[in-house]
């Protein structure tokens, strides 16, 4: 199923056959017995392609058949096996082998052409699809193979994408793919997209994606942003995969169909998922686009043919409601003209209008689904908007948008026409009417009919572009207008043919040529010519309709000959009885066809055998002479022989020709022809052959005897004497025809001096034959006298011209006889001798128009156009030939008779005016060319002609009518060269809107130094509605070169509409560094921006801008280049820059840079800001600075908060500092580093005893503390001794402290320590006793709780019934058992705990009091 038109099925039972189902008639299948391995039906027509394997090989034989004509069109035997094939276009088959891909066109005789080799990813794949894009520039091949080892059940898909232009392939993973076209907003051309779906396994994860990517993006134009979306497969379809993809151009949707029957629907523009469902319970193996339905056909394994398409009534509400995607709903409605989005569209229109976004509102109204906004209310709404100065009125924006999208309705057409008529721009109406952009109505007709004179040729040209059949109707309407057709029929025909509209041109010509007027002869030939080449059946039908019209038959022969249709010429000359034989013979001789059979037909049928023989002999076509005599008509052989003798053909050829016919040749006429020419001797061999073959024909024997008699008798003089007596003396035989001939012929051979006398005296001889014999004998005067005597004036004048070579006598003779044929011969001779003017005069006297081609050529070579005009005027009276009329116009131009040209072209003529105009232009006859081009409305040529005439305003007006970029460009360049800059700008504005021509215009202006004018042109172009990126960019380049003061403003205003890379190159070349920096920033090229600023700082540097840029650069090295840059050029604000980069910099590297530069102090604020990162280099640098500045407070703070630095090194540097506080910091550093002794020693040295004590306390070292006590005692520092006991309280042993105090008489200073110690330990004992008492209370409470439980149990036991007492249980005697003695330590009263040693004190009584009853 190659399309939605046909399904082709190959049956193998009960016999091999092919069944073709026409989808328009599905119940009437066509079955044909065909044994083939594969059959493909053409997508559009009834053409069938068949493939069958060649027996005994792996090669395949391909054939293409036309079913309707029952004819084989092409066949080819492939040298490889075909593994897949498909119609990729209606005229091309795609053929895939194991290694390569071929294209085979069904047109012509060409063999399949190799397109590319298959890539490695498709090796061992089953090919399932092959496609090409609409322009056949991109090709895609799809194959599938078993899945990967980790998941073999999931089929793997592979794709090869090939670019025809680049001759390159790209291998991708994909199961299905399709090409699409999409018009991106702001682009005037469609973008080619590739859509493909894949499902793959990667590291155990299944990924399903659908991609949409643009191919071959158009430079300088908006491009399609690539899209991708997920394909969500339900769990039950985990191993399912896409097998096909179809694009709906009608709705802009993508259909992805899977093997198990799932359908995914996506929006093409946004790749948004729209719908998913299962459409078939059986596997699907084939799909094709249903273009008219906007959906697709699918065939499943059950053989069902399914049609899937969009429900137009519900899809938009579904997208807006269920999917809640309002934007997509509106786009779908606009794209497919679907219902359901009316409220959304109206609401959006009102929003745009309220925001004064009139252009967007106009576009929305123009595209509104079902035209809901194309109402009088909308027009009135745009009319009500006040027009701003210098801006396009919103109403015109609205109408302009409508015109670019299609046809206006009645109301819109009327309103737009009113605007145009009021502005007196009716030529716009002509264009729109011709393009069928306006809806005609009575009101519109009333509006435009007053004073309207349409340009019919322009209208016809315009209609042709869009509606060829409408153009035919329009042309026929013009042909029936009163006063005649306003446009020449030939011009109309050429317009159709220029666009290869053969059928339309034929339809027009057949209608207008019905009157069969003589002046239409050229057109009759033309209609036959064009159809003989393209549609021979049409030409044949034309001939059949005019079956008895000789002129039509001749025209058919003429057209067939001119177009090389020799078979048709032969057929018609053989079968037709209605053509003019003489005219046809002359034409065929002049045409000099390579095949002489048509001429043979004419001459044989109509008695022109001598002429035929002469033509064939002189053109060295001897084989056709033989063929005619031997096969066509041997009875005419005598005439052929006679003419060959006249043409002095070699005797051997004539003898061979006669012998080849033999008995079929009539002897008597042959003898007569030879006898006339005194060449009977030729027949000897022929006659003897006939006699030897037993011929009894009396004519044969008589002829043989006569020949032998003349040959054996060698008595010419005696014969002359005898004949003179018989003929010249009055005898009975004086007037004998044969004897007079014999006398003169004998004299010619034996005694030429007597010939003239015989001619004068004799009258009854064969003048033509004898005259020819005299010429052969070089008796030219005698021959002239003979011909003259017998009034054979043509032969006579030929003797004068050809033999005597005296043109003067020939002219004199012509004047005397005044015969046209004689004058013709004279004229031809004069023409050969270069006497062109005399020849023209002779032709005019001969009234001979047959040789106009030779005359025209000779007159042009001799430059005698005045005479040529007279001749062509005579010729025109006899024939209607385009060449004649065309040359007459050219001759008028050469003699500067322009008035006659104007009069001539207004009269009926068949001149090829376009060709004449081109010729006049090429030869610089511009005034005449101007007349021609204006008459045929060839505005493009008229414009360039007016340029040559320096009539620039007229050239601009003509260019406006031509409206061709090429014409505008030519006129523009000419105006520039002539410094007509105002007109040049008008033209230039129409050129620069074409992207491809913009650069050429710019270079042209610049090469001529017209810089200001070019800038003015580009500035004007910015306001054009069709202004594109190229204009804005080119103006920027010009500013960069010639107006740098305007460059920055331009860039800032139009940065979004510039081709920034191109402008970057221009700014770089012109060294506009500030602007270059700005462009790099706009283009997100921050690295280049930063580099430019640093390399060209005098112009480009701006601190705030640089800060914004440097944080966005990608290259880390630029950070440090910026550090060096600021250090060298802007050290005063380097910290501001560094703070911006703080999060990105390697602070150690920055510090190293500043150290090497010797300016570490310069970045102190930066280092302070980043010190929180606790970087060693930063800490050390700051500490060094603080040390140098003797800022001990900052240094102490730095050391406290940031410990990542060389502490010992710093301490060693400052421990000998002259400032006490700095040395104190050194001691503090030693303390933090755990070097307690060094810290204490340093503090001792500076008498910083408090620091010594704190260091000891923090160290927790008992020995250091006790040593410090000893130091204080040695130094007599009693107060310090007391303070140290307090500060180091936790680590100083009490016995040591008391011992030192007692021994050194410092008990008073140690007493505070002693009191503290006693109080501390008393509190500890109290806490222990309290804990013990609480434990005893808890034990007693537990015992009481147990007793209460037992008592409760006994109470329940007393309520039981009386019973015998049970025997006592062991250990349970009757009655109350006294409680056991108290457990040790639980008696009444407190049992003292054992002696508590290790506390440095004697045991204490309970509760800290002496026992009760003891002494106090």
Highest mean pLDDT of the ranges 342-351, 1113-1122, 1223-1232: 1113-1122
Least confident of 118-122, 205-209, 1309-1313: 1309-1313
pLDDT above 60 for 1174: yes
The helix (H) or strand (E) run that includes residue 247 is strand 242-248
DSSP 1056: G
Q: Greater confidence, 846 or 279? A: 279
Other Cβ atoms within 10 Å of 469 Cβ, number: 12
Choose among 637, 641, 685, 683: nearest CA to 664. 637
Q: Name the pLDDT band for 1267 (thresholds 50, 70, 90).
A: confident
**Sequential DSSP letters for 379-427:** HHHHHTSPPPTTS--HHHHHHHHHHHHS---HHHHHHHHHHHHHTT-HH
What is the distance between the alpha carbons of residues 961 and 938, in angstroms, rounded to a whole number? 9
Q: Name the pLDDT band for 1037 (thresholds 50, 70, 90).
A: very high
The helix (H) or strand (E) run that includes residue 1148 is helix 1147-1157
Highest mean pLDDT of the ranges 492-506, 643-657, 1187-1201: 643-657
Q: In which region does residue 138 sit, left (phi positive, over 0), alpha (psi from -120 to 50) or beta (all else)?
A: beta
What is the distance between the alpha carbons of residues 1252 and 250, in angstroms, rounded to a whole number? 94
Distance, CA of 527 to chain centre: 37
pLDDT above 60 for 1215: yes
Least confident of 511-520, 1067-1076, 1257-1266, 1309-1318: 511-520
Query: By three-state DSSP, how is residue 1248 classified?
Result: coil
Query: By three-state DSSP, how is residue 677 classified?
Result: coil
What is the distance between the alpha carbons of residues 302 and 283, in angstroms, rounded to a whole number? 8
The helix (H) or strand (E) run that includes residue 999 is helix 995-1007
Distance, CA of 1162 to chain centre: 59
Q: What angle do CA 1209, 1215, 1217 make, to 5 degrees?
A: 115
Least confident of 70-74, 435-439, 1065-1069, 1090-1094: 435-439
Query: By three-state DSSP, how is residue 144 classified?
Result: strand
Q: Name the pLDDT band for 732 (thresholds 50, 70, 90).
A: low
Least confident of 66-80, 493-507, 636-650, 953-967: 493-507
Q: What is the 3-state secondary structure (H, E, C) of 837-891?
A: HHHHHHHHHHCCCCCHHHHHHHHHHHCCHHHHHHHHHHHHCCCCCHHHHHHHHHH
Tell me the two tokens of residue 1243: 């503090």
What is the distance between the alpha carbons of residues 1413 and 600, in angstroms, rounded to a whole number? 175
What is the distance between the alpha carbons of residues 767 and 789, in angstroms, rounded to a whole number? 8
pLDDT above 50 for 451: no
Distance, CA of 252 to chain centre: 19
What is the distance between the alpha carbons of residues 892 and 9, in angstroms, rounded to a whole number? 70
Rounded to the nearest integer, the mean pLDDT of the chain is 83
14 upstream amide cis, omega within 30 of 0: yes
Highest mean pLDDT of the ranges 138-147, 552-561, 785-794: 138-147
What pLDDT is recorded for position 68? 82
Q: Cα-flanking dihedrals φ and ψ of residue 1316, to 5°? A: -60, -45
Query: By three-state DSSP, how is residue 661 classified?
Result: helix
The length of the chain is 1416
Torsion from C-alpha of 1099, 1103, 1104, 1107, nearest 10 degrees: 110
What is the distance between the alpha carbons of residues 35 and 1154, in angstroms, rounded to a whole number? 90
The helix (H) or strand (E) run that includes residue 161 is strand 156-163
Query: With contact defined as beta carbons under 8 Å apart, do 865 and 856 qualify?
Result: no
What pLDDT, in 10s, does the model give residues 299-316? 999 889 999 999 998 999
Distances (CA, A) of 1245 to 30, 739, 1193, 1216, 1287: 121, 175, 21, 11, 20
Least confident of 689-698, 745-754, 899-908: 689-698
What pLDDT is recorded for position 1409? 34
Looking at the DSSP bridge assignments, the partners of residue 290 are 295
pLDDT above 60 for 1007: yes
Q: In which region does residue 213 sit, left (phi positive, over 0), alpha (psi from -120 to 50) or beta (all else)?
A: beta
The helix (H) or strand (E) run that includes residue 145 is strand 138-145
pLDDT above 50 for 482: yes
Least confident of 226-240, 1149-1163, 1212-1226: 1212-1226
What is the distance between the alpha carbons of residues 129 and 1341, in angstroms, rounded to a whole number? 95
For residue 565, give every residue at least 6 positions away whose Cβ sits within 8 Å of its Cβ, in sequence order, or none: 532, 533, 536
pLDDT above 90 for 142: yes
The helix (H) or strand (E) run that includes residue 1016 is helix 1011-1021
What is the distance between the alpha carbons of residues 1134 and 1233, in angstroms, rounded to a whole number? 35
For residue 437, give every residue at least 6 positions away whose Cβ sits within 8 Å of its Cβ, in sequence order, or none: 403, 406, 407, 408, 431
For residue 1295, give every residue at least 6 positions away whose Cβ sits within 8 Å of its Cβ, in sequence order, or none: 1400
Choose among 861, 928, 915, 844: nearest CA to 883. 915
Least confident of 46-55, 97-106, 1156-1165, 1345-1354: 1345-1354
User: What predicted TM-score, i.e. pTM, was given to this entire model?
Assistant: 0.42
Q: In which region does residue 173 sit, left (phi positive, over 0), alpha (psi from -120 to 50) or beta (all else)?
A: beta
Instruction: Please compute the mean of the pLDDT values over residues 885-902 and round it to a whole number.
Output: 88
Query: With contact defined as beta carbons under 8 Å apart, do 140 and 130 qualify?
Result: yes
What is the distance between the alpha carbons of residues 142 and 167, in angstroms, rounded to a whole number? 18
What pLDDT is recorded for position 538? 66
Query: With contact defined as beta carbons under 8 Å apart, do 358 and 397 qualify?
Result: yes
Least confident of 237-246, 477-486, 766-775, 1351-1360: 1351-1360
Outline where 254-407 has alpha helix (H): 315-321, 326-336, 342-354, 358-367, 376-383, 394-405
Other Cβ atoms within 10 Å of 284 Cβ, number: 22
Choose among 1255, 1314, 1267, 1324: nearest CA to 1286. 1314
Looking at the DSSP bridge assignments, the partners of residue 130 are 141
Looking at the DSSP bridge assignments, the partners of residue 195 are 178, 212
Tell me the two tokens of residue 1055: 């940065």
pLDDT above 70 for 719: no
Query: By three-state DSSP, how is residue 169 classified?
Result: strand
What pLDDT, in 10s, does the model give residues 183-211? 888 788 889 999 999 998 876 788 899 99
For residue 190, give every residue at least 6 positions away whose Cβ sits within 8 Å of its Cβ, in sequence order, or none: 181, 182, 183
Q: What is the 3-state secondary structure (H, E, C) of 1265-1297?
A: HHHHHHHHHHHCCHHHHHHHHHHCCCCCCHHHH
Query: With contact defined as beta carbons under 8 Å apart, do 75 and 67 qualify?
Result: no
Q: Greater confidence, 1367 or 101? A: 101
What pLDDT, in 10s, does the model give residues 247-292? 999 999 999 999 999 999 999 999 999 999 999 999 998 999 998 8
What is the distance between the alpha carbons of residues 441 and 446, in angstroms, rounded to a whole number? 9
Instruction: Please compute the mean of the pLDDT values over residues 477-481 and round it to a whole number.
Output: 84
Tell me the two tokens of residue 66: 């036309």
- 1327 by Cβ neighbours in 10 Å (0-12 / 13-18 / 19+) ranks as exposed
Half-sphere exposure of 512 (CA within 13 A, CB side): 31
Query: With contact defined as beta carbons under 8 Å apart, do 114 and 100 qualify?
Result: yes
């Amino acid at each position: 199923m190659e399309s939605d038109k046909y399904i082709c099925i190959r049956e193998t039972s009960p016999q091999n056959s092919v069944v073709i189902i026409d989808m328009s008639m599905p119940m009437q299948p066509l079955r044909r017995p065909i044994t083939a391995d594969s059959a493909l039906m053409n997508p559009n027509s009834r053409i069938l392609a068949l493939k069958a394997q060649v027996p005994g090989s792996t090669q395949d034989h391909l054939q293409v058949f036309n079913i309707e004509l029952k004819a084989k069109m092409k066949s080819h035997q492939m040298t490889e096996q075909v593994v897949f094939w498909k119609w990729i276009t209606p005229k091309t088959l795609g053929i895939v082998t194991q290694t390569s891909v071929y294209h085979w066109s069904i047109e012509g005789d060409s063999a399949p052409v190799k397109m590319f080799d298959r890539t490695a990813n498709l090796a061992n794949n089953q090919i399932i699809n092959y496609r090409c894009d609409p322009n056949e520039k991109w090709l895609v091949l799809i194959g599938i193979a078993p899945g990967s080892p980790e998941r073999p059940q999931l089929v793997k898909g592979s794709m090869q994408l090939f670019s025809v232009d680049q001759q390159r392939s790209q291998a991708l993973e994909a199961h299905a793919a399709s090409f699409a076209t999409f018009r991106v907003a702001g682009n005037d051309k469609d973008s080619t997209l590739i859509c493909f779906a894949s499902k793959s396994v990667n590291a155990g994860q299944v990924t399903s994606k659908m991609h949409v990517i643009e191919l071959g993006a158009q430079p300088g134009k908006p491009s399609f942003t690539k899209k991708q979306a997920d394909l969500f497969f339900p769990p039950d379809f985990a191993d399912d995969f896409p097998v096909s993809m179809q694009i709906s151009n009608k709705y802009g949707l993508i259909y992805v169909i899977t093997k198990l029957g799932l359908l995914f629907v996506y929006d093409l523009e946004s790749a948004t998922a729209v719908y998913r469902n299962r459409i078939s319970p059986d596997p699907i193996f084939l799909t094709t686009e249903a273009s008219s339905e906007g959906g697709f056909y699918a065939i499943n394994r059950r053989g069902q043919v399914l049609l899937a398409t969009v429900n137009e009534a519900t899809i938009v509400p579904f997208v807006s409601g269920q999917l809640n995607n309002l934007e997509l709903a509106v786009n779908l409605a606009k794209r497919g003209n679907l219902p359901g989005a009316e409220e959304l569209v109206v609401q959006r229109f009102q929003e745009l209008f309220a925001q004064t976004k009139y252009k967007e509102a106009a576009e929305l109204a123009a595209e509104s689904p079902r035209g809901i906004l194309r109402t009088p209310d909308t027009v009135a709404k745009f009319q009500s908007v006040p027009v701003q100065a210098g801006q396009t009125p919103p109403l015109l924006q609205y109408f302009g948008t409508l015109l670019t999208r299609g046809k206006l309705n009645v109301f819109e057409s009327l309103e737009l026409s009113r605007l145009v008529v009021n502005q007196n721009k009716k030529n716009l109406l002509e264009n729109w009417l011709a393009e069928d952009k306006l809806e005609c109505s009575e009101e519109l007709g009333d509006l435009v009919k007053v004073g309207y004179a349409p340009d019919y040729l322009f209208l016809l040209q315009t209609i042709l572009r869009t509606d060829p059949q409408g153009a035919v109707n329009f042309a026929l309407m013009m042909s029936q207008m009163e006063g005649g057709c306003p446009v020449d029929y030939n011009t109309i025909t050429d317009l159709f043919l220029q666009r290869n509209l053969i059928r339309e041109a034929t339809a027009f010509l057949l209608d207008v040529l019905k009157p069969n007027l003589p002046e239409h002869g050229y057109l009759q030939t033309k209609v036959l010519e064009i159809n003989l080449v393209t549609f021979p059946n049409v030409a044949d039908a034309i001939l059949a309709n005019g079956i008895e019209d000789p002129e039509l038959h001749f025209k058919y022969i003429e057209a067939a000959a001119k177009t090389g249709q020799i078979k048709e010429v032969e057929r018609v000359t053989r079968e037709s009885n209605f053509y003019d034989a003489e005219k046809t013979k002359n034409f065929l001789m002049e045409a000099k066809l390579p095949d002489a059979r048509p001429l043979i037909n004419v001459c044989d049928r109509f008695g022109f055998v001598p002429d035929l023989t002469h033509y064939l002999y002189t053109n060295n076509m001897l084989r056709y002479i033989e063929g005619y005599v031997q096969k066509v008509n041997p009875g005419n052989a005598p005439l052929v022989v006679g003419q060959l003798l006249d043409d002095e053909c070699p005797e051997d050829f004539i003898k061979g020709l006669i012998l080849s016919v033999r008995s079929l040749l009539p002897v008597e006429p042959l003898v007569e022809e030879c006898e006339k020419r005194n060449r009977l001797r030729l027949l000897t061999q022929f006659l003897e052959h006939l006699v030897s073959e037993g011929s009894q024909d009396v004519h044969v024997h008589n002829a043989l005897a006569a020949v032998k008699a003349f040959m054996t008798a060698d008595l010419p003089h005696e014969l002359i004497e005898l004949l003179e007596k018989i003929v010249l003396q009055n005898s009975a035989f004086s007037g004998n025809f044969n004897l007079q001939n014999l006398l003169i012929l004998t004299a010619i051979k034996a005694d030429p001096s007597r010939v003239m006398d015989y001619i004068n005296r004799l009258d009854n001889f064969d003048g033509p034959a004898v005259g020819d014999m005299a010429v052969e004998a070089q008796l030219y005067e005698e021959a002239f006298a003979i011909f003259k005597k017998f009034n054979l004036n043509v032969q006579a004048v030929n003797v004068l011209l050809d033999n005597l070579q005296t043109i003067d006598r020939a002219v004199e003779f012509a004047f005397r006889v005044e015969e046209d044929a004689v004058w013709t011969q004279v004229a031809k001779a004069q023409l050969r001798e270069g006497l062109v003017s005399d020849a023209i005069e002779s032709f005019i006297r001969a009234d001979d128009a047959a040789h106009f081609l030779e005359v025209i050529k000779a007159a042009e070579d001799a430059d005698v156009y005045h005479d040529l005009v007279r001749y062509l005027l005579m010729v025109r009276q006899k024939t209607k030939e385009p060449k004649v009329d065309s040359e007459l116009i050219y001759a008028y131009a050469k003699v500067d008779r322009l008035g006659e040209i104007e009069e001539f072209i207004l009269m009926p003529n068949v001149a090829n005016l376009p060709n004449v105009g081109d010729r006049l232009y090429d030869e610089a006859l511009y005034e005449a060319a101007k007349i021609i081009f204006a008459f045929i409305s060839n505005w493009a040529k008229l414009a360039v002609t007016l340029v040559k005439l320096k009539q620039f305003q007229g050239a601009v007006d003509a260019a406006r009518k031509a409206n061709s970029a090429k014409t505008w460009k030519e006129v523009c360049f000419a105006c520039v060269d002539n410094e007509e800059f105002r007109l040049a700008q008008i033209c230039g504005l129409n050129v620069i809107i074409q992207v491809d021509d913009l650069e050429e215009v710019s270079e042209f202006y610049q090469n001529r130094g017209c810089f200001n004018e070019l800038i003015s042109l580009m500035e004007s172009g910015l306001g054009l509605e069709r202004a594109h990126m190229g204009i804005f960019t080119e103006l920027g380049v010009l500013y960069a070169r010639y107006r740098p003061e305007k460059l920055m403003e331009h860039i800032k205003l139009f940065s979004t509409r510039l081709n920034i890379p191109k402008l970057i190159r221009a700014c770089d070349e012109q060294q506009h560094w500030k602007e270059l920096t700005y462009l790099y920033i706009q283009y997100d090229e921050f690295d280049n921006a930063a580099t430019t600023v640093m390399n060209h700082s005098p112009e480009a540097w701006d601190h705030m801008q640089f800060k914004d840029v440097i944080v966005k650069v990608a290259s880390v090295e630029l950070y440090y280049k910026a550090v060096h840059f600021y250090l060298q050029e802007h050290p005063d604000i380097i910290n501001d820059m560094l703070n911006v980069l703080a999060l990105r910099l390697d602070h150690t590297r920055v510090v190293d840079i500043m150290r090497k530069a010797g300016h570490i102090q310069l970045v102190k604020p930066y280092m302070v800001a980043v010190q929180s990162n606790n970087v060693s280099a930063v800490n050390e640098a700051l500490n060094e600075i603080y040390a140098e500045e003797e800022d001990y407070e900052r240094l102490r703070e730095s050391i406290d908060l940031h410990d990542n630095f060389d502490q010992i090194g710093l301490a060693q540097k400052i421990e000998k500092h002259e400032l006490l506080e700095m040395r104190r910091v050194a001691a503090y550093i030693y303390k933090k580093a755990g070097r307690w002794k060094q810290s204490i020693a340093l503090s001792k040295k500076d008498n910083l005893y408090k620091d010594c004590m704190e260091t000891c306390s923090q160290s927790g070292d008992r020995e250091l503390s006790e040593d410090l006590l000893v130091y204080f005692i040695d130094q007599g520092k009693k107060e310090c001794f007391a303070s140290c006991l307090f500060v180091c309280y936790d680590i100083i042993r009490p016995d040591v402290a008391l011992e030192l105090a007692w021994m050194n008489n410092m008990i008073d200073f140690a007493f505070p320590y002693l009191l503290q110690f006693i109080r501390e330990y008393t509190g500890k004992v109290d806490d222990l006793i309290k804990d013990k008492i609480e434990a005893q209370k808890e034990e007693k409470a537990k015992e009481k709780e147990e007793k209460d439980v037992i008592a409760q149990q006994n109470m329940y036991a007393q309520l039981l019934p009386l019973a015998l007492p049970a025997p006592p249980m062991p250990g349970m005697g009757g009655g109350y058992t006294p409680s056991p003695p108290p457990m040790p330590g639980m008696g009444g009263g407190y049992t003292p705990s054992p002696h508590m040693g290790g506390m440095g004190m004697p045991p204490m009584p309970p509760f800290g009091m002496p026992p009760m009853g003891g002494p106090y």
